[in-house]
Amino acid sequence: MSATQQFSPVAKLEQKTVVDLILKGKRVDERGPLDYRPLTIMLGTVEKANGSAYVYLGKTKVLAGIKVETGTPFPDTPDEGILTVNSEFVPLASPTFEAGPPNENSIELARVVDRGIRESKAIDLKKLCIDPGKKVFMVFVDVYVLDHDGNLIDAAAMAALGALVSAKMRAFEVHNGELKYKDEKIPLPMLNYPVPTTSVKIDGTIVLDPCLEEEQVMSCRLTVTTDKDDKVCAMQKGGLGVFTPDEVKQIVSTSISKSRDLREKILSKVK
């Protein structure tokens, strides 16, 4: 069952400081309302993975790793590879994270990241079929949250994208349904590059890329994932507050333009 969350108590004074700044068009870390925190991406840090990306978004740190393995296709898509996105909120990352199976926040994050990749048709899954109905490649995207300073969804989705675009799998041939590996390595068949941006509403004001202190006072958040053609491919509202329709429309327009910069930044990392 999903239950109203118990937030760790934040001193009222501290909350007030964050809100007061927002109302003045400022933020705790001196950004403007629509500024992103500094973004750093390191690709390929985990050599044993097919692909990996370490994302620093301010003090938030997320590591994504890709594994490509073979498996059985789903009955309703016999000629397509399988994409699986999983997320671990490892207890390293926050005093509020607990060891154990993924909770609803971790599952929501994984499903939003998954939706962006799946709905933008980022991976050409048909190219990952080996023997229709019998054997396909499975692409596992594992997102590891290592330091939680807010806006985990964006950091996770960008780490996942970075890991996917830089991933290598062994080249292969298929003869009569028989898989044969070749010596060289090839990239994954990528067709699109979905990037989310998350906005939050604090005392009536919308700001982008919330840090943890801002998430603790936010009314609600809206994540909008857009693709290389400026199409919206996934959205997710969270939190106990509400948006007006106009606020939602405004956030979508802002997200489309903001995502362009972020996408460029990630793709520029891949040779």
Partner 1 sequence: MRNDPAVKLIDSKGLRVDGRRLDELRPIKMEVGILDKANGSAYIEHGKNKILAAVYGPREAHPKHIALADRAVVRCRYHMAPFSVDERKSPAPSRRELELSKVIRESLEPAIMSEYFPRATIDIFIEVLQADAGTRCAGITAASLALADAGIPMRELVAACAAGKIEGKVILDLSDIEDKKGEADLPVALLPKSNVISLIQMDGSLSDEEFRQALDLSTDACRKIYEMQREALKLKYHIVRDGTEDKEEMAEVKA
Give the footprint of partner 1 on this chain (CB under 8 A): 1-4, 6, 45-49, 52, 59, 61, 63, 65-67, 69, 86, 88, 90-95, 99, 101, 104, 107-108, 110-111, 115, 118-120, 140, 142, 144, 146-149, 220, 222, 227, 230-245, 248-249, 252-253, 256
- Min dist CB 244 to partner 1, Å, is 6
Q: Give the residue from 139, 147, 134 showing the smallest Cα distance to 113.
A: 139
Collapsed DSSP state (helix, strand, coil) of residue 251:
helix
Residue 191, amino acid: L
Residue 86, amino acid: N
Shorter beta-carbon distance to partner 1: residue 24 or 75: 75
Q: How many Cα neighbours within 13 Å face the side chain of 201?
A: 20
Q: Which two tokens stand for residue 80?
A: 């397509």
- Cβ atoms < 10 Å from Cβ of 200: 27
Shorter beta-carbon distance to partner 1: residue 256 or 267: 256
The secondary structure of 104-170 as a DSSP string is HHHHHHHHHHHHHHHHTT-B-GGGGEEETTTEEEEEEEEEEEEE-SS-HHHHHHHHHHHHHHH-EEE
Shorter beta-carbon distance to partner 1: residue 25 or 103: 103
- Min dist CB 85 to partner 1, Å, is 10
d(CA 155, CA 223): 12
- Name, in order, each residue with C-beta under 8 angstroms of 75's C-beta and a sequence gap of 6 or more: none
Shorter beta-carbon distance to partner 1: residue 72 or 253: 253
- Min dist CB 190 to partner 1, Å, is 17
Q: Give the residue from 58, 230, 234 showing the smallest Cα distance to 147.
A: 58
Shorter beta-carbon distance to partner 1: residue 28 or 220: 220
- Min dist CB 176 to partner 1, Å, is 26
- Min dist CB 180 to partner 1, Å, is 20
- Min dist CB 163 to partner 1, Å, is 9
- Min dist CB 20 to partner 1, Å, is 22
Q: Which two tokens stand for residue 261?
A: 């910069």
Shorter beta-carbon distance to partner 1: residue 220 or 270: 220
